[in-house]
Amino acid sequence: MTKQKLKDRHNTIKPYIHRTPVLTSRLLNEISGTTLFFKCENFQRMGAFKMRGAASAISKLSEAQKSKGVVTHSSGNFAQALSLAALSLGVKAYIVMPSNAPQVKKDAVKGYKGEIIECPPTLEDREQAADLIQKEKGATFIHPSDNLDVILGQGTAALELLEDHSDLEYILTPVGGGGLIAGTALAAHFYGNNCKVIGGEPFEVDDAYRSLQSGKIETNDTINTIADGLKTQLGDINFPIIQKHVSEIIRVEEQEIINAMRLIWERMKIIIEPSCAVPFAALLREKEKFKHKKVGIILSGGNVDLGNLPF
């Protein structure tokens, strides 16, 4: 993995993504005791950072692979990201979605011309359905987070953040499947100046925290968290990157996530989803660590169900 490879990938996907703004808030600086720079991926195309990874992965396929389409299994943001990226690049997208996926997410996938294949809501069923599409259609499977091309694409958000603010001392991201934090860690390693990367994770799904402790990929017994985007686990490709380049993971309570989400809605007047609030909640939980530091936070997405807010 080289610095140039990340830069090249950024140049490749630029036509398909927004360069999202970096916002600040004097009030949130006062509350946290630090200087915060929010990279607003909630303003990204399809509403989340995952557009970057999807565009990155599809752009690396051969023409023969592109002609047969791509397939993934996802109930949320990556389903939308792969559909829109595929549409932008003229590629067919097959999206395996569990039958209980929110209708609003299914509608979004259809709006981006993705073809939905519904399956029972278990990981085994999702994987079987995706395997079948690969065999029948010859489509290339793209994993939402455990794919190096996806990881490099996700890292371009932090790359842009560091281009704008090269003196950041920390960057915080949420941790779910591990693609965003792995990509962010590579960007900080190559483009930061002693910039540490820290993950935020709910206590309710703290598999990444436990994985760093044990040295092997752990799983969750329960997924009872409001941060619905963080219920997936790390993979064989992103875990070694996280082990090598991520300083630590801070766990937060459900109420801390809700409080952090509300603060950003109220003070910054922007919409973020619960998973997106987790790194800010982690910073507020351990204020002393970040006191008087310059901290970047990746606001990962804004695809929230407005009819089901936690406050």
Distances (CA, A) of 41 to 157, 270, 282: 8, 11, 18
Given CA atoms 129, 109, 137, 16 in this order, what sign does their dihedral have? Answer: negative
DSSP E strand boundaries for the chain: 22-23, 35-40, 70-73, 93-98, 115-119, 140-141, 170-174, 196-202, 246-252, 294-299
- 75, 83, 211, 300: the active-site residue: 75
Q: Which two tokens stand for residue 237?
A: 């490709």
Residue in this structure with the two tokens 């591990």, named with its chain if needed: 178
Residue 93 pairs in a beta bridge with 70
Give the number of other CB atoms < 10 A from CB of residue 280: 28
User: Is residue 14 flagged as an active site residue?
Assistant: no
Give the whole-angstrom CA distance, residue 164 versus residue 126.
40
49 backbone dihedrals φ, ψ, rounded to 5° = -55, -20
Please pick, among 39, 50, 105, 106, the residue that the annotation labels catalytic.
Answer: 50
* Known catalytic membership, residue 88: no
Q: Is the CB of residue 104 less than 8 Å from the CB of residue 98?
A: no
Q: Which residue has the tokens 């993979």?
A: 235
Contact partners, residue 138, CB within 8 Å, separation at least 6? 68, 69
What is the phi/psi pair of residue 73, to 5°?
-120, 125
The answer to whether 13 and 59 have CB atoms below 8 angstroms apart is: yes
| Residues marked as catalytic | 50, 75
